[in-house]
Amino acid sequence: MSGAGVGAEAPAHAGDAVTGPTSRPHRRPPAAAVVHRGPGPLDRRGLRWLRVDALGLTLAVAFGSLAMTPSLIPRTWLVQGLASGLSAAVGYGLGTLVWFGIRRTHAGLRMFARARIWVPRRVRAVAWPLLLAVAALVVLVALWAGVGWQRQLAALVGMEPPTALGYARAVPVGIVVAALPIAFVRLVRHADHVLVRGLRRYARLPRRIAAAVAVVVIAVVIAAVTNNVVLRGTLAVVDQAFGGVNEETYPGFDRPTSPTRSGSPASLVPWETLGKEGRRFVAAGRDPAQLGAAAGRPGVEPVRAYVGLESAPDPQARADLAVAELDREGAFSRPVIGVITTTGTGWVDDPVADSLEAIYGGDTALVASQYSYLPSWLSFVVDRSRAEDEGRMLIDAVHARIDAIPAGTPRPRMLIFGESLGSQGSEAAFSSLADARANTDGVLWVGPPNSNRLWEQIVTRRDPGSTEIRPTYADGLVVRFAGGDSSATVRRTPPTPWITPHVLYLQHPSDPVVWWSPDLLWSRPDWLVEPRGYDVLGAMSWYPVITFWQVTIDLMNSVGVPEGHGHVYRGEVLDGWVAVAAPPGWTDADTARVRQVLAGP
């Protein structure tokens, strides 16, 4: 039997329907609708790294543009470029991840296949130019709106507004910042592909096993490099750099000769071990004549005790040395002892010490110690536990020494002060608000970080109807919150009794140190639900991920704003001390007199 016999297959021609006992009829789409994608301009080996994902680009533009909305602190074009670039990189990553997930699912594969086949050629030809044009238009509109918001915010806090042309430089900066993490991820993916191919070729591993091994190897390498090279290397450089700075002395601050100062010839603490900020603290201050004029009575030489990081080997030893130094200086015969938990480098802001000394005419004793020589923002990342240990041990040591004073002998009032990370350090000495009030005679905490345990408990349990930026707790009976207010306003807000000892928090609506939290990544805080504070634009809103980056970057410039805004509290410390620890019979006129003296040279 010649030719095609029974059951033999007949040749099929292009376009014919093919049937068989195990196959279903199918039709090929019309030739005009088929997409035959040839090599594009970016498909060459050297240019493939420049290709971008459409959904990733869309979300990158959206995230970067939303980052131009206002936050807490006015931003320069450079800071804006950093904020938009980081947000755009996150958006691009999310977009590519979503698209990857769609393509990896069975339904997604079918949808992708249909889209590739049935999208007309003309649409695909203009899709990318149209997307790029729309992206550029969105960025320009966001930039124009961003300049307007930054001008409003600058006027709100009393700063110089940006120009539109100057602010436009944020766009190229943002593109570069966004490109860096994207390029890093692509480099990691390329390394992963090369490693998988090598494992399959030389180790003869199945594809899935090779892929799993490659992921583990690359993750271990990245972790090792990050920990041993990047983090340790960076910290070593920073440690060496700031360690050298700690050995310096500010010009014009010479070794004191008064026996009431640490570092003096009579001191138990050598001048050389105080550190740069410690030497400044003990050498600075107003003379007794100025302090007496401020207090309206004869002034005396105040006591200032300080223990540096190199003065003793550990927090407990420094606390014991600080108490011994206070004893030597006669501090426990003074009516007031102020225990100050420093920030970062051991810094104590001048108004903190000057204001309290001026209120009492110098008849005070102040003590502080250093736990780090890193700047405050870096200490917040790596030294928080050290700040808490230092604050707890110093406060406990001073309190124990006061308790040891025999009954019937006058005891000094023990006042606690902490600013920024210093407030977290001194908060750690107390288990609760009741504990703080039972073991002190007044507390002033300024610019508390959002991670402060006591602060968070009080704010969370605030009275219904009060806001997060200005909470009222227990009708203001035991603790109050202020910021940008005079001491008289603090005492009368709310208009209910405030029993002693007073605990006062100073915080600004625009202080990113107070409001920064990892929770900003995924949840809207109450302070962005409630009416905005006096120095925050009503246009500020919460966006997932984006607001986190905005407030994170605000931390970098939190002290680059005028007094009364951001993390700058210099002009309000006097009112804080008056509200917490004013002498009996103190009046608003007394506060005005002190302010006038301190405003002079």
Q: What confidence tens digit (pLDDT) does each residue in 439-477 have?
A: 999 999 999 999 999 999 999 999 999 999 999 999 999
Rounded CA separation 394/336 (Å)? 16
Give the pLDDT confidence score for residue 382 in this predicted structure: 65
211, 533, 567 from 484: Cα distances, Å: 58, 11, 12
Q: CA 341, CA 37: separation in Å to the nearest integer?
A: 67
User: Taken in order 319, 324, 327, 329, is the CA torsion positive or negative?
Assistant: negative
Tokens in use for 419? 């600013």
Q: Is the pLDDT of residue 280 over 90?
A: yes
Question: Per-residue pLDDT tens for 214-269?
Answer: 778 877 877 777 666 665 666 566 666 666 778 889 999 999 999 999 999 999 99
Instruction: Place 494 in a pLDDT band, splitting at 50, 70 and 90.
Output: confident
Output the pLDDT for position 173: 94
Which pair of structure tokens corresponds to residue 138? Answer: 């969105």
pLDDT at position 420 is 92
Write the CA distances from 54 to 100, 185, 210, 283, 450, integer angstroms: 12, 17, 30, 62, 38
What is the torsion angle, in degrees rounded to the nearest 10, for the CA atoms of residue 227, residue 228, residue 229 and residue 233? Answer: 100
pLDDT for residue 290 = 96
For the stretch 182-195, pLDDT in tens is: 888 888 877 878 88
Mean pLDDT lowest among 95-104, 171-180, 298-307 = 95-104
Distance in angstroms (rounded) separating the CA atoms of residues 501 and 511: 26
- DSSP secondary structure string for all residues of 372-429: --S-HHHHHHH-HHHHHHHHHHHHHHHHHHHHTSPTTS---EEEEEEETHHHHHHHTT
Tokens 């990370």, located at residue: 421
Q: Is the CB of residue 298 less than 8 Å from the CB of residue 292?
A: yes
> For every residue of 474-539, which 3-state class applies, written as one string?
HHHCCEEEECCCCHHHHHHCCCCCCCCCCEEEECCCCCHHHHCCHHHHCCCCHHHCCCCCCCCCCC
Q: So what's the pLDDT on residue 6?
A: 38
Question: DSSP class of residue 227?
Answer: I
pLDDT for 344 equals 79
pLDDT tens digit sequence for 117-133: 455 667 667 777 888 89
Helix H or strand E segment including 593: helix 588-599
* 67 touches 537 (CB < 8 A): no
Under a CB-based contact definition with an 8 Å cutoff, are residues 510 and 157 in contact?
Answer: yes
* Amino acid found at 113: A
Q: Which amino acid is at 194?
A: V
Residue percentage of the chain with pLDDT more than 90: 63
For 287-326, how does the pLDDT look when each residue is reduced to its tens digit (9 = 90+)?
Answer: 999 999 999 999 999 999 999 999 999 999 999 999 999 9
Of the two residues 90 and 237, the one the predictor is more confident about is 90
Residue 446: φ, ψ to 5°: -120, 130
Helix (H) or strand (E) holding 105: none
- Model pLDDT for residues 521-576, shown as the tens digit of each residue: 999 999 999 999 999 999 999 999 999 999 999 998 898 999 999 999 999 999 99
Amino acid identity, residue 396? D
Q: Which pTM was predicted?
A: 0.84
Cβ neighbour number for residue 97 with a 10 Å cutoff = 14
DSSP H or E run through 564: none
Mean pLDDT in residue range 376-393: 78
CB 348 within 8 A of CB 340: yes
**Looking at residue 48, what is its pLDDT?**
56
What pLDDT is stored for residue 36 in this prediction? 42
8 Å CB contact between 173 and 67: no
Amino acid making up residue 435: D
Instruction: Specify the pLDDT at position 326.
Output: 97
- Residues of the chain with pLDDT > 70, as a percent, come to 84
Domain boundaries, the chain: 31-37+45-224, 247-508+569-599
Show Cβ contacts of residue 565 under 8 Å, excluding neighbours closer than 6 positions: 157, 158, 508, 510, 535
Which residues are CB-contacts of 55 (< 8 A; sequence separation ≥ 6)? 95, 96, 98, 99
More confident residue, 121 or 600: 600
- What pLDDT does residue 593 have? 96
pLDDT of residue 21: 44
Q: What are the pLDDT digits (tens) for 22-66?
A: 444 445 444 444 444 444 444 555 445 567 788 889 999 999 999
Q: Work out the pLDDT band at 114, boundaries 50, 70, 90.
A: low
Beta strands per DSSP E along 109-230: none
The residue-averaged pLDDT of 418-431 equals: 93
